[in-house]
Structure 1
Amino acid sequence: MEVLTTIEGCVWRDVVVEAREEDLPDSAQDCLAVLTSPVAAEPWRVDALLRRVRDRGFTGLAVGPEPEIGWGSRVLAQRLGLVLVVAGHPTALARACWELVEGRDALTLSLVRRVAGSIEYHADDIGDLVRHLSAGIGHALALVDGVEVLHRAGPAIDPDLLAAIDTSRWVHQVWTPTAAAVSVRVDTRARAGLRLVIHAEGIDEPHLVALTTAAEIAMPAVAARILIDEIEDVSDVSRSSSLLADVLDAAGSVDAELHRRVTARGWRVHGWHLGFRVQSRARVDPLDLLRRVRPWLHSLPVETHATTRGRGVTGWFTFTSAPDGHGVDEAAGAIREMHRALLADLPVATGIGSVHSGPSGLVTTLGEAHDAARLATGRPSTHWLLHVDSLGLEQLLLAWTGTDTFVPAARALLGRLRPADRATLGAYLDHESSLLRTAESLGLHRNTVRQRMQRVQEVLGLDLQDPDVRLAVHLACRAVSAPHRGRE
């Protein structure tokens, strides 16, 4: 076979085989025409044939060796944009073209079979299914959400290739100078905006067309696996959230049955714990928030746990021994880094507790974290993040007024005072900081009240001229002295 004329970039998408030129279709774009019968010998007839074939839309013509094609006809074919091929056996060329055309379908069928075989394997989750499909198809796969790659198998996708994908289309094929990809929208209610991408380097268009079919066949299995994972995830989070509620309700008194459930979950109530709380300042799905928090926790070289609770996520670090200041700072720093990442696109507030030990310590640190997060929602100056260890006690008292942790904190504050000074402090605040009225109510001399109040401020290290401090201490006195609190 001899190619008499060439055209740069010419690609034939199909082949038409007929005995005579009259049998060719009237319209054919980017196709090769193969004539199995000899053509007329006269040069002018050959030239007329070339023009008629090109007018039908063909970009290639294959004829037999007889008659010999002259130089003038070759120049005309070049000028017309027609590739002229002389084949010793036009029927053999036709058979080879047919095999190529059928080979494209055979490739598609082969890829579809590989997809079906990959789906038959058990997949633990969507990431596992993506790996099975990639291994079966023999090309890299990625599950993407916009420009974010959620799961992938094989080499990473070229960012330029990913950015070129038109997410508004059901199926989209894209090329760069070095690679090509096909993406299909994943049709699932579990999560919108997902696309399955198959990409590779150095593949031609017929191969990409075959991969397009494979992607469309694989998509329903991917959508189903995502839905299964969603259901399993919601169920698992519901169980862990319920278990955490039981632990908190037990207030540190973990019986054998609760300990069994906690252990089966992989939690350890013994040891030392540092709690944190991430909650929304607006409408944020707690489950989606948990999904964003988990990767941060899994990347840390320490035992961590988290689950949804109310409008946010509650989590904690567990240490086998009491962490030193450096260890606590590292854990708190990781939470701060996570908070900054979340804050980039979510309206959240984060609170961090202090380190406590044992089952009761876990309850305490989670309570502190929860209260610190509540306080952080009104603190844009701290970028909506507060750590209990960095707060003054009066701030914590204000944050904890409506919680079970308020009374212990109040007792911790006032426990440093002598009973007589504590009584004087309560009366002083009840009488709006009046020395005279306080002295009259207690039957004391005014100077005695002044001396006691000076001692109170020195022991507590607080400025009772500050309205917030005065309010916090007043609430503490009321809480500790309330009859239902019992004897101290």
Structure 2
Amino acid sequence: MDSRSAEGSSSGGQALSDGQARAEVETALAREYRFQHQLSEALVADVPEQGIAEVLQEHLGLGVAVEDPFGHVLARGRADGQAPCSRLTRAQRDRLVDAARRMTGPVRVRDQLASLAVSRGTVLGVVVVLDPQGTLEPPDKTPELDARPGSPRAGALHAIGLATGALTLHLLHRRHLARTELRLRHDLVETVLLECDQDGLEAEVDRRVGQASALGHDLTGPHRVLAVRPRHGHWPDGQAVGDLVEQAARSLDMPYLGTLRGQTAILVCGTPGAWLGDGSPTAPWSGRPATGSGVGATGSHEPRSGSAWQAVHDAFTHVLQDAPAVGVGSYVDRPEHLPRSYREAMQALTVRTRQADPRGLLTFEDLGLYRLLATPEGRREAGAFVEDWIGSLLAYDAERQADLVHTLGVYLDHGGNYDATAAALHIHRSTLRYRLQRIRELSGHDLTHTDTRLNLHVAVRAAVVADPAVLPGSE
């Protein structure tokens, strides 16, 4: 073969090699464009997280999961025959987040590659790719392969980066919308709890109903206001109050608007699904059931509708992992009456939280005598009344660490029955007789006189809500 033949052969080989490279690049670009187009479509789908997971899974041929910052799976794209991604422990996840913040690109943890969706140092979510065979690891002997146009590994890492960027944009947008809606809901609740000016009442009600409708809530139907305060006044650390309330409301199928005042969640609630009969609210939501015992001067602190309302209390107990205090305002069927239901919910919450055991739910209908005492004015008047009737007993109890006021209350609750009172207090009749004698001596009151017993009974009840507080632990 002469030199010209050799040159021709060499040129042909070079041309073929260039043609192959060009074809590889064009194929890679077409695949890249297709992936980006599918990713764009995923962002406008009903569930973008699921779309992102499926598009990336199809592109890589590997299992993919999209998780929230706490490791809960939001979406999954599973490759054929591949097991789901194993859950990281909290310690592993903390190490992953720390490592990812110090470097760019995905971080390998065992058989997974994890890429963080981060904005201003805040982790919004994680894209997890299951790669047990290490196909996305750098080649040991031929690192120059990564430099070739259309390198499968480089393209895969680039695709993971694009998917993570798309997830970041989506989660940022969702967070912005959630914050905006939360602020709008907060502002609306603060508005509907204000008394309507009677001048222009209809227009104001229409405005409030329209604002609620824009947030997906029908304010025209029957409502009650709930006031929820967690035990010890502290909501669980690391969890948004709105998310906890949302979980409880969803389990009850109960539409609501909510806000937070101090440590008390105020919820303007529509009828729970379980109490909707033929489209109309049923008991106990619609009013007090006909049977049971109420709260009042007779003594019982269990609401007459306690068993029915227990479902509501249980829902909040479940999400808070502890039993809260819940006050429930009365049933209203007009938006302009919601301020009244709110005041009543706060009255019920005040009584509930000032009991020896504040855990539980109390409705306004079941307040009995406390309806008069639990208003701000009533609490102030109660303080003077309590001091007049049992002030000496309270002072004696505080000085001697005695229990005369409680003994008096139980005695009056049981209608003056010695045996029932002694049994309830777990003391002997002689001990009860001694305590009652001390009560007579200190107070100067005759316990056999009907009007005196009534006033003493009211005073014991009023001591629970008196302002300023007169019982230890009543604040």
TM-score range, shorter chain: 0.5 to 0.7
Alignment of 1:68-467 (within 5 A): 112-121=32-41, 123=43, 128-139=47-58, 140-149=64-73, 151-154=74-77, 158=84, 160-163=86-89, 166-170=96-100, 171-174=106-109, 181-189=112-120, 191-192=122-123, 194-199=125-130, 204-205=135-136, 211-250=156-195, 255-266=202-213, 267-279=217-229, 281-282=233-234, 288-302=240-254, 304-311=255-262, 312-319=264-271, 321-325=280-284, 332-343=310-321, 349-359=324-334, 361-373=337-349, 381-382=357-358, 384-388=359-363, 393=368, 400-402=374-376, 431-432=388-389, 452-454=451-453, 456=454, 463-464=457-458, 466=460
- Measured against aligned partners, the alpha-carbon deviations of 1:182-228 in whole angstroms (never above 9, x if no partner) come to 21122114843632224489894477875443222222332233222
Pair 1:143–1:474, CA change in 2 (3 A): closer
CA distance in 1, matches of 2:390, 2:180: 55
The 8 Å contact of residues 275 and 315 in structure 1, kept in 2 or not, is answered as: yes
What amino acid is the match of 1:463? Answer: H
CA distance in 2, matches of 1:375, 1:133: 51
TM-score (norm 1): 0.52
The 8 Å contact of residues 66 and 125 in structure 2, kept in 1 or not, is answered as: no
CA distance in 1, matches of 2:121, 2:351: 34
The 8 Å contact of residues 188 and 223 in structure 1, kept in 2 or not, is answered as: yes
The 8 Å contact of residues 313 and 361 in structure 2, kept in 1 or not, is answered as: no
The 8 Å contact of residues 394 and 472 in structure 1, kept in 2 or not, is answered as: no
What amino acid is the match of 2:212? Answer: R
- Measured against aligned partners, the alpha-carbon deviations of 1:314-351 in whole angstroms (never above 9, x if no partner) come to 2243235342249986665144323332247xxx9542
- Measured against aligned partners, the alpha-carbon deviations of 1:258-311 in whole angstroms (never above 9, x if no partner) come to 324424423344443233234562488999211332244234434x11322333
CA distance in 2, matches of 1:108, 1:377: 67
What amino acid is the match of 1:275? Answer: V
CA distance in 1, matches of 2:187, 2:43: 28
Whichever of the two has the greater Rg, that structure is 1
The 8 Å contact of residues 183 and 197 in structure 1, kept in 2 or not, is answered as: yes
Identity of aligned residues (%): 13
CA distance in 2, matches of 1:309, 1:473: 23
Q: Which runs of 5+ in 1 are unaligned?
A: 1-91, 412-424, 435-445, 477-488
User: SS at the partner of 2:190?
Assistant: helix
Pair 1:120–1:393, CA change in 2 (3 A): same
RMSD between aligned residues: 5.2
Pair 1:326–1:234, CA change in 2 (3 A): closer
The total of aligned residue pairs comes to: 336
What amino acid is the match of 2:250? Answer: H
Q: Which runs of 5+ in 2 are unaligned?
A: 1-12, 59-63, 101-105, 138-151, 272-278, 287-304, 392-444, 469-475
The 8 Å contact of residues 66 and 128 in structure 2, kept in 1 or not, is answered as: yes
The 8 Å contact of residues 354 and 368 in structure 1, kept in 2 or not, is answered as: yes
- How far is 1:144 from its partner? 2.5
Pair 1:272–1:161, CA change in 2 (3 A): closer
What amino acid is the match of 1:258? Answer: V
- How far is 1:450 from its partner? 5.1
User: SS at the partner of 2:98?
Assistant: coil
The 8 Å contact of residues 65 and 127 in structure 2, kept in 1 or not, is answered as: yes
What amino acid is the match of 2:332? Answer: S
Structure with greater proportional strand content: 1
The 8 Å contact of residues 379 and 385 in structure 1, kept in 2 or not, is answered as: no
CA distance in 1, matches of 2:78, 2:268: 35
Pair 1:239–1:272, CA change in 2 (3 A): same
CA distance in 2, matches of 1:155, 1:167: 24
User: SS at the partner of 2:282?
Assistant: coil
TM-score (norm 2): 0.53
What amino acid is the match of 1:364? Answer: R
What amino acid is the match of 1:255? Answer: E
CA distance in 2, matches of 1:155, 1:374: 53
